[in-house]
Amino acid sequence: MITCFEKLDNNNTDEIINKAARILKKGGLVAFPTETVYGLGANGLNAEACRKIYEAKGRPSDNPLILHIGDIKQLYDIVVDIPDNAKKLIDSFWPGPMTGIFNKSNIVPSSVCGGLNTVAVRFPSNETAKKLILASGVPLAAPSANTSGKPSPTKAEHVQHDMNGKIDMIIDGGECDFGIESTIIDFTEKIPVILRPGAITKEMLENVVGKIVFDKAVYSLLSEGEKPKAPGMKYKHYAPEADIVLVNGSTENVVKKINSLLSEDFKNGLKSGVMCRESNLKLYNSKFVLSFGNSADTAGKVLFDNLRKFDDISINKVYSETFDESNVGMAVMNRLKKAAGYKIINV
Ligand code: AMP
Ligand code: MG
């Protein structure tokens, strides 16, 4: 299959959106930008079109898809009940990087939901995403447009790297604003449960509806036999080719430890890199040091791009600084821990 690559400029948006919508209506696959990461879109009410998403990504069939809506009316077609706390959070955070889990209506194929009776729904704020959904006339299933298990794509080039020849079209709308996937909240529980942390933080949600809890899979490695509530969270994720190790502690201790590990690796012929705050860039003795910027917010935006950059230069090991697990730091640490397979050195 030849993948058509279209870059948006100020004049061609409508033409490209219409072309993409025609592909989607015929059951094809189109990758498009959202404010979180690039999504791989298909008609979310067409089981056969969604099957192609699983095939292109190599995604296990029990890992359900998120349906993306372009206006709030579409929500009422695909879910059966919307609890009051969900309504309040929708008023506050949609359109935006928040996904809700609801009981699904009959028009949503069960294969799109990994066989569950619930459906995940998001209303993105990105203008291209909204226009594309409305032009297609149906909710779009749109998981991250990467090969399953790899870092999510935050630039169209990342999508091209993973999906070229496997999908019909890629719309290049530039770099994603947040760079980290949406916050997923299960609204089928009395107290809403965060299944995946994102840019809409627990603190922001609690300001609107009071108590919210994290699913255990958000912050720790589950033991054998334990099941996360979001089926996708049990799979290996965000994994670059290199071994990632997190080093946690005071800056002084972290720098000392990482530099000693780097010199050991160097002696053993390994190519090792570092991910750190901008202000610490000069403190590490490696040629391969990538910056997170200076906050968890900037780290979220560049994390997946950094992981892919290390792959491009075939790094063997990456040592990473850590962040406080509050606000957006929770989402960044969740992705970092998964990328590292929970290998953390406390110093
Ligand atoms: P992705 O869109 O690939 O970034 O991932 C979507 C995430 O949403 C996966 O971790 C899924 O397991 C989760 N998810 C989607 N639908 C549901 C659902 N009905 N219940 C729980 N988790 C879901
Ligand atoms: Mg994904």
pLDDT tens string 74-128: 999 999 999 999 999 999 999 999 999 999 999 999 999 999 999 999 999 999 9
Number of domains in the chain: 2
Distance 26 CA to ligand 1 centre (A): 25
151 conformational bin, left if phi > 0, alpha if psi -120 to 50, beta if neither = beta
Show which of 218, 251, 273 is a domain's final residue. Answer: 218
Residue nearest ligand 1's atom 23 by CA: 230
User: What residues sit around ligand 2, an ion, with C-beta below 5 angstroms?
Assistant: 144
Distance 230 CA to ligand 1 centre (A): 5
- Spell out the alpha helix ranges (H) of the chain: 13-25, 47-57, 73-78, 84-93, 127-136, 156-163, 202-209, 251-267, 296-312, 328-339
Q: What would the mean pLDDT of 283-310 be, rounded to a whole number?
A: 97
Look over the chain and give the mean of its residue pLDDT values, rounded to a whole number.
Answer: 96
pLDDT tens string 9-44: 989 999 999 999 999 999 999 999 999 999 999 999
- 8 A C-beta contact, residue 174 and residue 10: no
Residue nearest ligand 1's atom 13 by CA: 230
118 Cβ closer than 6 Å to some ligand 1 atom = yes
Measured in degrees and rounded to the nearest 5, phi and psi for residue 246 equal -90, 140
- Tell me the HSE value of 13 on the side-chain side, using a 13 A CA sphere: 12
Q: Is residue 226 part of a domain?
A: no
Whether pLDDT at 290 is above 90: yes
- 8 A C-beta contact, residue 192 and residue 85: yes
Q: Is residue 18 part of a domain?
A: yes
Show which of 202, 218, 234 is a domain's final residue. Answer: 218
Q: If you search the block for the tokens 């032009």, which residue do you land on?
A: 135
Distance 21 CA to ligand 1 centre (A): 24
Q: Is residue 94 part of a domain?
A: yes
Are 92 and 163 part of one and the same domain? yes
Per the DSSP assignment, residues forming a β-bridge with 41 are 30
CATH number at residue 164: 3.90.870.10
Which strands sit side by side in the sheet containing 344-346, from one edge to the other?
A: 289-291, 272-276, 317-320, 243-248, 344-346
Are 51 and 197 part of one and the same domain? yes
Are 25 and 167 part of one and the same domain? yes
Q: What is the pTM of this model?
A: 0.96
Whether pLDDT at 205 is above 80: yes
Report pLDDT for 239.
77
Distance 225 CA to ligand 2 centre (A): 23
Are 102 and 178 part of one and the same domain? yes
With both helix axes pointing from N to C terminus, report the angle between 84-93 and 202-209 in degrees, rounded to the nearest 10: 120
- 8 A C-beta contact, residue 121 and residue 99: yes
Whether pLDDT at 136 is above 90: yes
pLDDT tens string 177-198: 999 999 999 999 999 999 999 9
Are 72 and 193 part of one and the same domain? yes
Whether pLDDT at 300 is above 90: yes
Are 129 and 85 part of one and the same domain? yes
Are 304 and 262 part of one and the same domain? yes
Atom of ligand 1 nearest to the CA of 181: 4
pLDDT category at 235 given cuts 50, 70, 90 is confident
Tokens encoding 1: 């299959």
Are 208 and 309 part of one and the same domain? no
Residue nearest ligand 1's atom 12 by CA: 232
Report pLDDT for 126.
98
Q: Report angle CA 168, 174, 178 to the nearest 5 degrees.
A: 110
Q: Is residue 225 part of a domain?
A: no
Q: Is residue 229 part of a domain?
A: no
pLDDT category at 282 given cuts 50, 70, 90 is very high
Are 179 and 33 part of one and the same domain? yes
Give, as one character, the DSSP assignment of residue 26: T
Q: Is residue 232 part of a domain?
A: no
Report pLDDT for 76.
97
Are 79 and 214 part of one and the same domain? yes
pLDDT category at 308 given cuts 50, 70, 90 is very high
Report pLDDT for 288.
97
Are 209 and 266 part of one and the same domain? no
E strand or H helix at 183: strand 183-186
- Distance CA(66)–CA(51), nearest Å, equals 14
Atom of ligand 1 nearest to the CA of 66: 15
Report pLDDT for 273.
97
At position 23, the amino acid (one-letter code) is I
Show which of 203, 218, 233 is a domain's final residue. Answer: 218
Owning domain of residue 77: 4-218
53 Cβ closer than 6 Å to some ligand 1 atom = no
Distance 83 CA to ligand 2 centre (A): 26
Q: Is residue 341 part of a domain?
A: yes
Q: Is residue 230 part of a domain?
A: no
pLDDT category at 279 given cuts 50, 70, 90 is very high
Are 158 and 192 part of one and the same domain? yes
229 Cβ closer than 6 Å to some ligand 1 atom = yes
CATH number at residue 341: 3.40.50.11030
Report pLDDT for 138.
98
Q: What would the mean pLDDT of 151-169 be, rounded to a whole number?
A: 98
Whether pLDDT at 237 is above 80: no
At position 41, the amino acid (one-letter code) is G
Ligand nearest to the CA of 238: 2
pLDDT tens string 324-338: 999 999 999 999 999
Report pLDDT for 75.
98
- 8 A C-beta contact, residue 33 and residue 156: yes
